[in-house]
Amino acid sequence: MKNEKASVLILVLWVLIILSLLSMAVSSRSSSDIKLAKYEADSVKSLYLARAGVAKAIAELNKDNSGFTSLNQDWNKEKEFGFGGGVVKYSASDEEGLVNLNGQVLKKENLKSLGMDDNLSDSIMNYKNIKKRDKGFEFMEELFLINGMTKDIYDAIEPYATIYRGDDSKVNINTASENVLMAITGSAIQTAVILDYRDEGGVFQNDTEVSAKELDPNIFSVRSDFFRIIAGASFSEDKEAGKVITAVVDRAGKIYYWKEE
């Protein structure tokens, strides 16, 4: 009799242990499902909030009626706003302050000034003018299809080059970096004249002011219509649940490049 009671007790204990383990497993699974659902919800909300950041940046650019674009204007400041518990930060950079690889009058010398050697510069010009012709580069990574292009070279020139503004070769004299100015003018003296003028607070507002500095207005613009917008949003402290959108747009809101991460 005692053996039977002991067996029953052991059986009951095993049943309790098994039920406890099952309860823990169900609880853990439920907790994981809840976390996953929250992560997915935060990701979706972050994506739409990031899109709102891009739209707001475009609206602000579209309202700018000034006749020139410079780095000390409002568009060049990072901004943020909150909505429904989430926060989005957005900023813009001038796509017309870059060397346009699809530019109609792009020259081999422009590429060499960006740091590419003679052979690679020739290969890029041949690819652009013979293979692509009027179509032009359709995405920046297309450069990797050209013999001699490496990741190191691409990473070095990518911050100074664009393909997203038609065949216009002009560069905004008010926003272009020193490397871009050197690539366009091919002159350290002219580059220094521009940078010194800007450092002193000067802004080129029209072609007459460009010519007054003995610079060629045919290679420079003073107002930009193409911008790269980066908007990052999050509804969670988990950075992986946040979303970042990079877009190249014109002031009217037409999209030339769009990437969601």
Q: What is the tally of structural domains in the chain?
A: 1
What residues are paired with 231 via a beta bridge? 90, 245
Q: Where are the beta strands (DSSP E) in the chain?
A: 79-83, 86-94, 99-100, 161-162, 171-172, 220-221, 226-234, 243-250, 255-260
Tell me the average pLDDT of the chain: 88
- Higher pLDDT pick, 147 / 14: 147
Provide CB contacts within 8 A for 174, sequence distance 6+: 68, 69, 70, 71, 198, 203, 204, 222
Is the pLDDT at 71 greater than 80? The verdict is yes
For 4-32, give one letter per residue: b (16+ CB within 10 A) or e.
eeeeeeeeeeeeeeeeeeeeeeeeeeeee
What is the percent of the chain with per-residue pLDDT over 90, rounded to a whole number? 74
- In which domain, by residue range, is 92 found? 1-261
Query: Do 102 and 137 meet the contact criterion of CB atoms below 8 Å apart?
Result: yes
Task: State the DSSP code for 202.
Answer: -
The predicted-structure confidence for 105-115, as pLDDT tens digits, reads as follows: 999 999 999 98
If pLDDT is split at 50, 70 and 90, which confidence band does 21 have? low
pTM above 0.85, yes or no: no
CB count, 10 Å around CB of 165? 21
pLDDT value of residue 92: 97
Mean pLDDT of all residues in 19-44: 64
If pLDDT is split at 50, 70 and 90, which confidence band does 47 have? very high
